[in-house]
Amino acid sequence: MTTAQTPRIAVLGAGSSGLVTLKCLNEYFPASAVTCFEKGNTVRGAWGSRGEDFVSTSTKYTTQFSCFQEVPQAVAHHEPYGEFFRGGEYGDYLERFVEHFKLRQQIAFGVEVRSIKFVAPKWELLLKGPNGEFTQTFDAIFICTGLVSRPRKLSVSDSRIRVQETPEGIRDSRVVVVGGGESAVDVANTLARAELGNTVFLSLRSGIRVSPRYHPIRKVPSDFLRNRLLLSVDKRWRNAIGERFVTFRIKHRKLLEALFPKSRREMRETSGGSNAGWELRLMSRARNELFNVFHNKSDAFLQAVTEGRITIVGPPVDDSFQSFFDFEQTEQVSIAPQVVVPSAGYYPLLETLSAGALALKDFYLGCLHSTLPNCFLIGHARPVIGNIPTMSELQAKYCSGLLAGRFARPVDIVPQTETQWLELTREFPSINTQCIYPVEHIPYCDLLAKAMGIYPTRRALGSLRLWLKWLLAPASTSHYLDQDFDRPMLETQPIHMPAVLALLVGAIRLFQTQVELMGKGRSIR
């Protein structure tokens, strides 16, 4: 489809993914050609109106690496915010984004998309608004409904137990929160506030990983230590080395405090301290390796567990939810809760909307349908460590450019899609790949950047010094060489990786390259 045509384009959902998709489409198509449907009445998205205790869901990545690459920079620099978004601040940021780019007039609020159907060559949408159901057809659709649209339901046979999906209004009750993801630990931590008077249990089927928000030695957000040199090391090696470092950091906090006295306060806050026992127990039973499973970033949650305000238990014994296994799953514990709060994942809305015609496994790189060139999926790729919004922005740039004819559609896309899907299911066996496309944040964005021709090679950056800065500075999507490339930011970004560690990682990377070359030589022979 070329820019000479004026297609009708539908964007489904006005959360962070839908908003950045609108902005990208407006760069190629007239605003009158693009309509966004949002069943609610706000653009704040799934995490835009959370309470102050929601620190793992709303602030998992630092603000400077969670914002879109918008212009002018005054919006991107988000002056009112600290290093992390808290509570409803991310929703405030999205409101500012919408107003700056004048997107609100393109959003049809209070209109729910009931179903989508491909009637070649167009898409037929069944919509429900204030006056009932109606149908509209579009030349292309961008599905931005998000990963958390349909919470997974729990079947509780005991009628005395109230099942409630949100923590609002729960006081003076025995409560079981079911699940181990970011939202589950934040919900449990919220309910465990002393003034609410609740007795809180968190039901887990396995262990979970709780990552420190600040690096325990360097005293900076952990994001700042994640650069492209480190990410270039084979993930199996990173898993092995990282696992040992985390275990050492938890077990030998006092030794690290002696070696790095300036970091003493941060290590006590983030490496466990008295929380170390639970941090180790939860980590030891976590499924999959360090960089193959989602992490929580709520140090306050660990503190609540240590203080006994949250009790960790195993799964329920049966669907009555009266008794649970203990965390080690060796004994049964009678709890008899009054309220159960399910936070155990979500259903794949994509297949429901399309009556089974669309599935996540059919989308190349989780965003481009392998056989339908006018169907795109934005925001369903989720990083193990990282943030969804900036990945959604790269997806939106790529897919809107494809629709406008700016980029070439990949060759042999069907076998590529099938191969990628098999690799994902093998690499992330414990993740529900029916509704989540799990990836590594920056390596995934690099794939999209290469497809758009904006990947910053040494030649493209123009100098060895700037390329080394790109390699060693905190990895960011602001480094790609498109219209939003921020050269001054890259030039002034501090490098937080210690020189000794950079040399060590560089040596590992060279050794890994040598091993790979030797392997290729043997295969040729």
Percent of the chain with pLDDT over 90: 42
Q: pLDDT, tens digit, for every residue of 282-308?
A: 777 776 666 666 666 666 788 888 889
Averaged over 454-460, what is the pLDDT? 92
Give me the amino acid identity at 196: L
Distance, CA of 75 to CA of 121 (rounded, Å):
39
Q: pLDDT, tens digit, for every residue of 92-136?
A: 888 988 998 999 999 999 999 999 999 999 999 999 999 999 999
Rg (alpha carbons) of the chain, rounded to whole number: 24
DSSP 328-387: TSSSEEE---SEEEE-S-B--HHHHHTTTS--GGGEETTTEESS-TTEEE-S-EEESSS-
Higher per-residue pLDDT: 221 or 273: 221
Distance, CA of 189 to CA of 185 (rounded, Å):
6
Contact indicator for 206, 287 with CB cutoff of 8 Å: yes
Contact indicator for 120, 101 with CB cutoff of 8 Å: no
Distance, CA of 383 to CA of 366 (rounded, Å):
12
What confidence category does residue 249 fall into, taking pLDDT thresholds of 50, 70 and 90?
Answer: confident
Higher per-residue pLDDT: 63 or 524: 63
Neighbouring CB atoms inside 10 A of 330's CB total 8
Q: Is 217 in a helix, a strand, or coil?
A: coil
pLDDT at position 268: 43
pLDDT at position 59: 46
Strand order in the sheet with 112-119: 112-119, 122-129, 132-138
pLDDT of 441 > 80? The answer is yes
Beta bridge partners of 226: none
Averaged over 334-357, what is the pLDDT? 86
DSSP 250-267: HHTHHHHHHH-GGGHHHH
Kindly compute the dihedral angle of the four CA atoms of residues 55, 493, 244, 235, in this order, to the nearest 10 degrees.
100
Higher per-residue pLDDT: 185 or 217: 185
Contact indicator for 442, 386 with CB cutoff of 8 Å: yes
Averaged over 248-254, what is the pLDDT? 72
Identify whether 121 is preceded by a cis peptide bond (ω within 30 of 0).
yes
Average pLDDT, the chain: 83
pLDDT at position 388: 85
pLDDT of 76 > 70? The answer is no
Percent of the chain with pLDDT over 70: 82
Q: In 3D, which of 159, 196, 195, 161 has the Cα closest to residue 178?
A: 161
Each domain of the chain, given as residue ranges in start order, spans: 9-43+103-150+347-452
Q: pLDDT, tens digit, for every residue of 180-193?
A: 877 788 889 889 99
Three-state secondary structure of 434-462: CCCEEECHHHHHHHHHHHHCCCCCHHHHC
What confidence category does residue 521 fall into, taking pLDDT thresholds of 50, 70 and 90?
Answer: low
- Burial of 217 from C-beta contacts in 10 A (0-12 / 13-18 / 19+): buried
Averaged over 466-484, what is the pLDDT? 90
Residue corresponding to tokens 């995490």: 47
- β pairing state of 122-129 and 132-138: antiparallel
Distance, CA of 111 to CA of 134 (rounded, Å):
10
Q: pLDDT, tens digit, for every residue of 307-324?
A: 899 999 999 999 999 999
Averaged over 437-464, what is the pLDDT? 92
Averaged over 257-265, what is the pLDDT? 59
pLDDT of 269 > 60? The answer is no
How long is the chain? 525
pLDDT at position 271: 41
What confidence category does residue 266 fall into, taking pLDDT thresholds of 50, 70 and 90?
Answer: very low
Higher per-residue pLDDT: 250 or 54: 250
What confidence category does residue 50 fall into, taking pLDDT thresholds of 50, 70 and 90?
Answer: low
pLDDT of 418 > 80? The answer is yes
Right CATH for 9-43+103-150+347-452 from 3.20.20.10, 3.40.50.1370, 3.50.50.60, 3.40.50.880 = 3.50.50.60
Distance, CA of 89 to CA of 16 (rounded, Å):
13
pLDDT at position 2: 43
How is residue 24 annotated by DSSP? H
Averaged over 218-223, what is the pLDDT? 76
pLDDT at position 267: 42
- Burial of 397 from C-beta contacts in 10 A (0-12 / 13-18 / 19+): buried
